[in-house]
Amino acid sequence: MKSFFITNPCSYREIGMKYKTDHLNLGAWQTHSVVNGPDERFVLWLQGCPRRCQGCINPEFLAIEPSHEIAVDELAEKILAVSGLEGVTYSGGEPFLQPEPLFKLSTHLHAAGLGIVCFTGYTLEALQAHSDSWIQRLLAQIDLLIDGPFEQEKVASLRWRGSHNQRLHFLTERYSKYSTQPETSATEVELVMTNNGVMASGFWPANFLERLTKIMER
């Protein structure tokens, strides 16, 4: 695994990672989720993040290396075949490492009427200041951006966020009703059985996974 600690927005291209402009490199995906954004969503965890935040809840997606590569058209087809979805959430890893193929996927999803939520470890301002036109084009496709890295010393139970520094940016009207709703303080976690075991998704308190593992071992 390559070791990076880059805090400014960058893409696979900028850090020298080989990539195909019409493929996405995914760490994982989940066809139905209700804890990763409004309503029922398909969730994509993009592989690779150049940051190393202490307490990151998705360390398995940080390595910047090929994982599950899939053509954008094929992935769009898979997502659109799932019924009952309100939208799709991009998480990671860092979605903005792959702005070009993610922009292309987003155009398919929006054309089909789905909404797009994106988590990023960068701030909105840092992304807006970046010169990469694909980053700007991807930003223009996002309805709700949840920005900022996880900061352990600011840990909090907030709607769709794990620390106080993280912010909700309603970039379109689609989810703006949530901007005036009171904060939730409940921790929301989904456990999904997969061929490789149990996958946890959502936002959980410190030591939750360790406690859960012990309970399951029993």
Q: Tell whether residue 150 is a contact of ligand SF4 (CB under 6 A).
A: yes
CA angle 54, 129, 56 (to 5 degrees): 15
Residues of this chain, 79-118, that bind ligand SF4 according to CB under 6 A: 92-94
Q: Point out which span in 8-16, 56-64, 69-77, 170-178 binds ligand SF4 (CB under 6 A).
A: 56-64
Select 58 or 172, whichever has its Cβ closest to ligand SF4: 58
Give, as ranges, the residues between 10 and 49 that touch ligand SF4 (CB under 6 A): 49
Paired sense of beta strands 115-119 and 144-147, if any: parallel
Interaction of residue 58 with ligand SF4, rule CB under 6 A: yes
Decide whether 24 or 76 has the Cβ nearer to ligand SF4: 24
DSSP assignment of 99-167: HHHHHHHHHHHHHTT-EEEEE-SS-HHHHHT---HHHHHHHTT-SEEEES---GGGEEEETTEEETT-E
Q: Does 51 bind ligand SF4 (CB under 6 A)?
A: yes
Question: Cα separation of 154 and 7, whole Å?
Answer: 18
Q: Which residue is nearest to ligand SF4 (CB)?
A: 121
Beta bridge partners of 68: 26
Separation of alpha carbons 106 and 73, rounded Å: 11
Q: Is 149 in the site for ligand SF4 (CB under 6 A)?
A: yes
Residues in contact with ligand SF4, counted by CB under 6 A, come to a total of: 13
Told to check if 64 binds ligand SF4 by CB under 6 A, we report no
User: Cα–Cα distance between 118 and 38 in angstroms, integer?
Assistant: 12
Give min distance, CB of 76 to ligand SF4, in A. Answer: 24
